Structures are given as C-alpha cells and as structure tokens.
C-alpha cells in the first residue's frame, strides 16, 4: 500500500512510501468528518441529489488524473454552487 509518511525526513515534508506493516495501514485510513446537517453545503447537496443520479455531470468520466490538463479540476459533486 502506498502511503504518505514522514519516516526519516527531517524537514517535515511528507514522502510517498510502500509498506505492509499494520501501523502504516492504520495511518492510511480515511478518518470520518462531521457534517453540519443544517449547513449550506449539505442543503445544496440535498437539493441537487436527484440531478446527481440522473444527469450526466462528468467533466472527465475516466480514471483520476494526477498530471495533465484535468488534474486540478474538482468533481461537480464537490463544488458548492
């Protein structure tokens, strides 16, 4: 599993490493975040939920791009109108 870590790096910059150890697996988990169910972002998500299911709202229907012209484009589902 590829993980970002700070092992042996004195300047505080994260480096990409490969590891099978249990502790590194735990460090790579996605931690849950709280969502304000009365907030603007959640309300907009609820309003647009049906269009996310039906409409073709893809900017790039292929795999994630880390380089090139589409690398910095946010998915529509993450944009707050």
Which position has the higher pLDDT, 23 or 59?
Answer: 59
- DSSP H helices, the chain, are 22-27, 40-54
Q: Which token pair is 4?
A: 């970002």
Per-residue confidence band for 7, with pLDDT thresholds at 50, 70 and 90: low
Higher pLDDT: 35 or 16? It is 35
Using the predicted structure, report yes or no on whether residue 45 has a pLDDT greater than 70. Answer: yes
Nearest to 33 by CA among 42, 44, 24: 42
Which pLDDT does position 41 carry in this prediction?
84
């Amino acid at each position: 599993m590829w993980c970002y870590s700070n092992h042996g790096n004195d300047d505080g910059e994260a480096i990409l490493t490969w590891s099978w150890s249990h502790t590194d697996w735990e460090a790579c988990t996605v931690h849950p975040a709280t969502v304000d169910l009365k907030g603007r972002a959640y309300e907009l998500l609820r309003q647009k939920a049906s269009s996310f299911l039906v409409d073709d709202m893809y900017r790039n229907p292929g795999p994630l791009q880390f380089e090139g012209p589409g690398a910095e484009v946010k998915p529509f589902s993450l944009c707050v109108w």
